[in-house]
A and B are shown apart, each in its own frame.
Chain A
Amino acid sequence: MVIVIAVVILTSLSFILGIVIVLVTSIYEKKDDKYEEILKRLPGFNCGSCGYAGCADMARHILEEKDAYKKCKPLRGEKLLEMENYLSK
């Protein structure tokens, strides 16, 4: 019986603390809109021809340095214009 009480107490405590952490995260965590927008405009092949570890890593580098998008090889035509338009904003 004692072990059941211990398990219940520990579980409910972790549950409550988990909820508190999620609440605090949702209040303070900024949504990285720009990152998401750039990622959406990348081809999404994860080919790695740009030299980064996939499109997500590429998007992170574009946030720091705008010209990095030129390294993306599959990005051409309309998609390339779209990206240039977005970044020049």
Chain B
Amino acid sequence: MNLISLFILAFLTENVVLTKFLGTCPLMGTSNKMKSAFSMGIAVTVVTTVSSLISYLIYYYVLVPSEVTYLKTVTFILVVASLVQITEIIVKNKLPKLYKEFGIYLPLITTNCMVLGTILLGISNEYNLIEMLVYSFGSSLGFLLILYVFASIRERLNQTKIPEALKGYPISLITIGLIAIIFSRFI
């Protein structure tokens, strides 16, 4: 029961994008098409979940026993960067079409603060391994949800008449703000 509520918390009520405002760069960058938004979300989900598992193990079995926990940020970034690199190699060779569509945004998962933020929050909340996995999986699925919803809204926006001054990013930012207001009701 505790795990389910933790999942709901990470997925909806404390959604990383809308309540903590992490990962807004890929949100703006990859939400032009619903398909690429979905695959970007899947890539981020895989990277976040796996890197949270590895980071957890490194933190509690290497950093804590040797009392160098101040190294956690740099180690987590190292883990995330390597995992993104591995994902990139796999996507490049298995799905070259998708690789072209991602462009610069695939290596930029490294600097997606949502990935690092989830891990650091999970560590500072002192979750155990299973809670940590549920939390990071829920957070990244929340990111996927918002990315997908936002991409579908944006596709619709492209076909409507918008005042000249609001075209492009301004209207997108207003849209994110409105979605965030809806989500703020949960708290």
Residues of A within 8 A of B (CB): 2, 5-6, 9-10, 13-14, 17-18, 20-21, 24-25, 28-30
Contact A20 B67 (CB under 8 A): no
Given contacts A17-B79, A24-B86, contact A2 B67 (CB under 8 A): yes
CB distance from A8 to the nearest CB of B (A): 9
Cβ contact of A17, chosen from B63, B67, B78, B89, cutoff 8 A: B78
A sample of 9 inter-chain contacts (CB < 8 A) reads A6-B68, A10-B71, A10-B75, A13-B75, A18-B82, A24-B86, A24-B90, A28-B93, A30-B93
Which residues of chain A have C-beta atoms less than 8 A from B78's C-beta? 10, 13-14, 17
Cβ contact of A28, chosen from B62, B63, B71, B89, cutoff 8 A: B89
Cα distance A18–B66 in the bound complex, in angstroms = 22
Cα distance A14–B85 in the bound complex, in angstroms = 13
- Chain A contact residues: helix, strand, loop or mixed: helix
- Chain B contact residues: helix, strand, loop or mixed: helix
Q: How many residues of B contact A (CB 8 A)?
A: 19
CB distance from A4 to the nearest CB of B (A): 10
Which residues of chain B have C-beta atoms less than 8 A from A28's C-beta? 89-90, 92-94
Tell whether B149 is near chain A: CB-to-CB under 8 Å. no
Q: Closest residue to B66 on the A side, CB-wise? A: A5
Cα distance A9–B66 in the bound complex, in angstroms = 9
Which residues of chain B have C-beta atoms less than 8 A from A2's C-beta? 67-68
Which residues of chain B have C-beta atoms less than 8 A from A25's C-beta? 89
